[in-house]
Chain A
Amino acid sequence: MATFFGETVILSSRAVDEEDEEEEVEDENEEDREIKRELEKKREVHLHWNADFSRQFETSSDKTLQISELIIAVGYNASGFLSAFALSSGKWETVGNISLWNEKSRFTRETSLEHPGEPSCIFYRKDENPEVLICQCTCYVAEDQLFQWAAKERNVLGCIEKRSLKVTILSDCPVANYRSPEYISAIPVPFLKALKTRTYNENLCCSPLEQPNVVSGIPAAVLSYCQVHQIPAVLYQCYTDVVKLDSVTIETYKSTLSCSSLRKLIKPCTALSTEILKKLTEDNETQSNLYT
C-alpha cells in the first residue's frame, strides 16, 4: 500500500502473518529443535490435584473423576460471583489448581495458592456435594494453551467421566467485543448472553448470543470440547464496560440463578454474601490520593 506521501507500507493481514516461519524449519539444527522443545515444555498446562483428591483417580476403574456438575468461572467478576454466592456457604475446600506459564501469566504452582488475589486457576469441592466441582480462573491462558487447558488428558475435561456430566460456564467479556446494529453505548450494560451445546436441553436464563458475535478463550475451548463430545454445557457471558471487579457486573450474574446447576449451589442475598461482595469490590478500588 502506498501512503499519501508515496512511501510503500507493508500492511499486516488480519488473517495471516507476513513472515513465513516455516522457512526456518528447514534450517533448524538439533540445538534449535531442543530450544523449541524446552519452550513447548515451559508452556505446558498442568493440573495438580491435592493428595486426597488424587486418590480418587487411583480407586476409579478408568482413572476419571465422577463429577456430575462442573461450574467454571472465567474472569474476576464471574469468580467474584461464585465467591460471594456459592463458596461463601458450606464447607468448600481447595482440591486442585492449574499451573501454567506464558508472557502474561508468569505464575507457578507454588505462587498461585500462596498469593490470593493474584491471577490463578483453582478448583473447589465440598464434602456434602462431592459430585459438584467449581473452578475459578482469573489467569490469562494463551491461545496455544487453551486446548490443553480444556481437553488434554489429565486436564480439566480430560479427567472427568463424561457420561453424566453437565458444564456451566460464567465468563466476563468487554462490551467493546459485542457487535450490535445499535450503537454500543446506547445499550444498557452489563448484560448476559448465552450459548449452549446441542445436548443441553434446559431453558436459558437470558437471550442467546446473536450472530455475528463469537466467543473465544477458555469458554470457547470448553464449549467446543463439550459440543464435540455431546456433553450438555451452557455459557453465560456477561458483557461489561468495567475492566475490574464491579458489584453491578457481579450482580448481573444473579439472572443465572434459574439455571438448575446454579440454583442448587447459590444462596441468594445472605448477609455473608453481601459482606463478601463488598469486601471483594473494596479491595480492588484504586485509592485516589491526588485530589482527595
Chain B
Amino acid sequence: MFVPVENASPTFKDSILIMPAVSVGNVGQLAVDLLISTLNMPCVGYIHTDCLIPMVGNHPYATSEENSSELSTNAEVYFLPEKKLAVLQIRSPTVKSKTRQFRHLILSWIKSNQFSRSILLSSSHAYQCDDRQLSGSPLRYLQTLEMKNIIGDELQKLDLKELETTPAFPGISETEQRLWIPGGGITKRFFTECSSEHIPLAVLLIFCSEGDNIPEAFTLINFLNRWLHLVETTGAVESHNWKIPCSWKLLFGSGIPPAIF
C-alpha cells in the first residue's frame, strides 16, 4: 500500500501517472529514471508491499554528497504538484506468485487517487516481431476506451502505430486475434484489467532485445516527451535534454583488470 514520506498524504487527483512495467531490457524503468532525474522530482511516498522482492540502495538520483546517503526502496512515488505529474518507479521484480495481487494493488491505488490519466511504459521481445513489425518504428501504443475518449487520436497524429493483434493459433486462418506482449511482464493483463475497470490508461511500448537498452529508453522517453511536453527540448539532439542518473554507472560490471591489456 502507499505510505507517504511526510505524515500528510499528497493529493494526486487529476494528475497524470507514469509508471514502468518490469519488462525486457528494463526499458520502462530506465525511461522513468530519466524522467525523475531530469525533472529532479522529490519522493513523496513508498509502495510498501509483499508483492515485490525487497531491495534498497542509496539515492539513485543524488546530485551531491549531501543527498547521496538518502535511502531508496524498491517502489517509490515521485510527484511534482505544479506540473500535476506523478511517477511511480519500480526497481525490483514481482514475487512470482504475487503478480496478480500486485496488478490489483496498483489498479486500486490508481482508482482511489483519481489520476486523470495513467501511462505504462513497457517493452516487448524484438525477436518475436512478425513481418509487419520488423520494419518502421519499434514503438507501439495501446489505449483503453476511457483514454481514447480523453485524448482522441493524439497518439496516431504523432505517427505512432497501435500494437497489432496476433492470431491465437499462428498459421491457421480465421482464428481469433489476441493481444500478445511477450517479455512485457504485467503489461498485457494490466491493460485488460484497466479496460475492464474503465481506467484511462495508455501503454507505450518498444520492441527490444536484452543488452545495452539505454538507446531504447531514450527512444521511449523522447516519444513520451513529444506527446506530453514534460521537459523543454533544446537543440537538435533529443538525448541531450535528459539528465543521466548516477545509478546508471557501471551497468555492465566493475572496472576492467589492467592485466588483460
Binding site for B on A (CB under 8 A): 1, 8, 10-11, 13-18, 21-22, 25, 36, 40, 143-144, 146-148, 150-151, 178-186, 195-198, 208-217, 219-221, 223-225, 227-229
Contacts and interface: CB of A to CB of B under 8 A. Distances in A.
B250 A181 contact: yes
Given A14-B210, A227-B71, A22 B189 contact: yes
B58 to A, nearest CB: 6
Contact of A211 (B26, B49, B60, B74): B60
A interface, over-half SS: mixed
B239 interface: no
Given A13-B183, A198-B70, A223 B56 contact: yes
Nearest to B59: A211
Given A180-B250, A196-B69, A214 B55 contact: yes
A215 B68 CA distance: 16
Nearest to A229: B3
A182 B255 contact: yes
Contacts, number: 152
Contact of A197 (B60, B71, B248, B255): B71
Range, interface on chain B? 35 or more
Best-buried of B58, B95, B97, B256 by chain A (most CB within 10 Å):
B58
Contacts of B48: 224-225, 228
Given A196-B69, A198-B70, A212-B247, 16 more contacts: A15-B93, A16-B93, A16-B185, A18-B182, A22-B100, A36-B97, A143-B95, A144-B96, A180-B254, A184-B254, A208-B69, A211-B58, A214-B55, A216-B53, A224-B54, A225-B48
A256 B256 CA distance: 31
A133 B135 CA distance: 62
A221 B93 CA distance: 14
Given A208-B68, A223-B71, A183 B127 contact: no
A198 B71 contact: yes
B200 interface: no
B8 interface: no
Contacts of A224: 46, 48, 54-56, 73-74
